[in-house]
Structure 1
Amino acid sequence: MTRRALISGITGQDGTYLAEHLVEEGYEVWGIVRGHDDTRAARLRHLVSDVRLIRGDLLDQTSLISAVDQVQPDEVYNLGAISFVPLSWQQSGITSEVTGLGVMRMLEAIRIVSGISASRTAQLGSQIRFYQASSSEMFGKVRETPQNEQTPFHPRSPYGVAKSYGHYTTQNYRESYGMYAVSGILFNHESPRRGPEFVTRKVSLGVARIKLGLSETLRLGNLDARRDWGYAGDYVKAMRQMMAQPVPSDFVVGTGIMSSVRTLVEHAFSHAGLDWRGHVVIDPSLVRPAEVDLLCADPKRARAQLGWEPVVSFEELVRMMVDADLAQLSGRSSPIDSPVAEHF
């Protein structure tokens, strides 16, 4: 029997890759979209033609109950969020509502549709399975390096705080109601579909513009911040593998290798035959109010229990993104190949 998946945030980077992957695995895929944005729907269908859409909003409990009830999914993947960390300081209220409380609303929708209560807990074999997109930003000011499933959280942004709320809410519904609910604590994962406001895509677009003579400089903030960067197309496979486990639990997903923003810049400019030192301008206004200096995954449990391994290396990822933006800006590919931004 064909499994049915419902994805929030389906028009974002992870949503499109996950939809592609699940379609390849034989799923019937549904996506939650807000309003009547035909541009986003067109971009999604250009990337993944075999997908169905239903209206819903992480701010609206009733719409989520209706979506879950109509689709009757086997699996729900909650990828929707306001996911650009710097924006979360400017819009902390809506970030908390969408990225934090939105998780609770989705879990509530599943609980209500499934008829689960404190006196009637779920049976794992027949219930809707739930995946929450947690984030390495929850670790923030890290207590240990590398970070694993037991590392305490110390978020350093409204986004990280909201993600921590969603993570603990997922655990609470699992423990309180017996629901199949898991969180993937994913470290930074990028692709040519990443929104242009994120540093990796900002760099690849900047390099492409400079190479093509469309710009002279690229303004960046903290070049010393270090991250564990991987390819989004690899990471969505870990999401499905988590949902296939007999017992629900949370997993850290990353490469276990850190690179600095400076190294990212060096690789990107070098791939285009450019010297970054003649083009990068440091802009103090782009530095976070509370910086996260380093994030590095300890993915041993995911590798041992899920059998998950990253395929695309950091260097390959950077080259992929620069090449994609060069192709797009020179007219050799359509801009529709990458989403406008991250969406909930």
Structure 2
Amino acid sequence: MPNALITGITGQDGSYLAELLLQKGYRVYGIVRRASTFNSERISHLLNDIEFIDADLLDQASLIHAVRHSRADEIYNLAAMSFVGTSFLQPVATGEYTALSAARMLEAVRFVDRPVRFYQASTSEMFGKAQTIPQNEHTPFYPRSPYGVAKLYAHWMTVNFRESYDLFACSGILFNHESPRRGLEFVTRKISHAVARIHLGLQDKLKLGNLEAKRDWGFAGDYVQAMWLMLQQEEPDDYVIATGVSHSVREFVDAAFDYIGIDDWSPYVEIEPQLFRPAEVDQLLGDASKAHEKLGWASVTSFEDIVRSMVEHDIRQLTQAEAIIKNASYLLTAQPC
């Protein structure tokens, strides 16, 4: 039974990856930072199947302990401050948790006396002001946010450790990937959640920034398959993971409102200038030919199915929450016989 250690296991990608590895017979360990609360919503159904290790991405010694304790054969470094908007407000913290944390994880791998295969979660945000369309493994990087800059540092550190210390270290340059488990701070989930609330009469307006920004959106459940495949190859390498099709934020809004039967959504959407990025990324479109040829990987979930599943999930979740609140209110106000 191989051992896998995942940082960021409570996030969207971490939850799908943990499911995949458990299905493949792995013993799965997850790094969590000790705190007064533990956000286990995305992995609540896996709590009995995962062993959690207390560690902190800012503490080198705790990461070395985690790698040794887990006796990891594979490490998936997914943890980061991953919301681009927040990275403009907290650039130094973004550097610590997104850039330097990757260097610490690589150092932890170098310190243990056993072969470990390492996956670094890189991002299409490193391309930023894209120099060519589409973008592949040879496209020059031009990040346009502190998040993109921090991820680029982590990406090149992975390459450097691979070449300097002969580590089996790979980077997956993943383009945007969504799911019903996406955080509410991301524009895709913000849209699906607001549309669900509008459908249920709980909200009147959806406030957005740049509707014309285009992204290559895939499904997170498909993309974790690519992560695993990278670590099963004979030689380590870096791969772009993408669908090869881009859609604008406007098209995402179209698809979300279409699911609830609204064609003209203009009365429900307001444009807020403060929601525009200080440095905008206009279009990201990935060329995953290398992953297709070498990994045998392909995206299988359509853009429409992704949007539909997110809106459907939010409607169901909100409906259940409303039912619980109503039932609780009834019990509190019910008169004794």
- What secondary structure sits across from 2:34 in the alignment? coil
Give, in angstroms, the shift of residue 46 of structure 1: 2.5
Query: Residue 16 of structure 2 aligns to which amino acid in structure 1?
Result: Y
CA contact (8 A) 2:177 2:218 kept: yes
**1:329 counterpart = 2:328:** no
Please give the alpha-carbon distance, in whole angstroms, between the structure 1 residues aligned to 2:43 and 2:289.
34
Q: Which amino acid aligns with 1:263?
A: E
Q: CA deviation at 1:334?
A: 11
Output the amino acid matched with 1:186: L
- What is residue 5 of structure 2 aligned with on the other side? 6
Deviation at 1:49, TM superposition (A): 3.8
Change (3 A) 1:80 1:282: same
How many angstroms apart in 1 are the aligned matches of 2:271 and 2:45? Answer: 37
Cα distance, 1:41 vs structure 2: 3.8
Between the two proteins, the alignment pairs up a number of residues equal to 323
Partner of 1:195: 183
1:69, distance to aligned residue in structure 2 (A):
1.1
How far apart are the structure 1 equivalents of 2:280 and 2:42?
A: 34
Give the deviation of 1:38 after TM superposition: 4.7
How far residue 168 of structure 1 moved from its aligned partner, in angstroms, is 0.1
CA contact (8 A) 2:12 2:42 kept: no
CA RMSD of aligned residues (A): 1.5
What is the match of residue 331 of structure 2?
none
Query: Residue in 2 aligned with 1:146?
Result: 134
2:295 aligns with one of 283, 289, 306 = 306
Deviates more, 1:304-313 or 1:164-173: 304-313
Query: Residues 289-304 of structure 1 correspond to what in structure 2 (within 5 A)?
Result: 289-304=278-293
Report the secondary structure of 1:160's partner residue. Answer: helix
Larger radius of gyration: 2
The offset of 1:37, in angstroms, is 4.8
Residue in 2 that maps onto 1:171? 159
**Matched residue, 2:214:** 226
**3-state SS, counterpart of residue 112 of structure 2:** helix
For the Cα contact (< 8 Å) 2:216–2:246, is it kept in 1? Answer: yes
Structure 1 stretches of 5 or more lacking a match? Answer: 115-125, 336-344
TM-aligned CA deviation for residue 151 of structure 1: 0.4
Q: TM-score, normalised by structure 1?
A: 0.91
Letter in 2 for 1:44: I
Answer whether contact 1:182 1:242 (CA < 8 A) is retained.
yes
Please state how far the C-alpha of 1:58 moved relative to its aligned partner.
Answer: 1.0
Please list, as runs of the form range in 1=range in 2, the aligned pairs for 1:73-152 lying within 5 A after superposition: 73-114=72-113, 127-152=115-140
Provide the rounded CA distance (Å) in 1 between the counterparts of 2:189 and 2:117: 32
TM superposition score normalised by structure 2: 0.93
> 2:32 & 2:323 partners in 1: Cα distance?
23
Q: Does 1:68 align with 2:56?
A: no
Q: Which amino acid aligns with 1:139?
A: F
Structure 2 CA distance, aligned partners of 1:334 and 1:212?
12
Q: Partners in 2 of 1:300 and 1:37 — Cα distance?
A: 45
Deviation at 1:242, TM superposition (A): 0.3
- Aligned partner of 2:332 in structure 1 is none
Of the candidates 204, 208, 216, which is equivalent to residue 204 of structure 2?
A: 216
Does structure 2 retain, via aligned residues, the 8 Å contact 1:230–1:254?
Answer: yes
Q: Distance in 2 between matches of 1:101 and 1:59?
A: 8
Correspondent of 2:227 among 207, 220, 239: 239
Correspondent of 1:258 among 225, 228, 246: 246
The answer to whether 1:288 aligns with 2:282 is no
Give the equivalent residue in structure 2 for 1:46. 45
Structure 2: 5+ residue runs without aligned partners? 325-337
For 1:59, the equivalent position in structure 2 comes to 58
Residue number in structure 2 paired with 1:276: 265
What amino acid is the match of 2:89? Q
* Structure of higher RCO (CA pairs closer than 8 Å, 6+ residues apart): 1
Q: 1:273 Cα shift?
A: 1.1
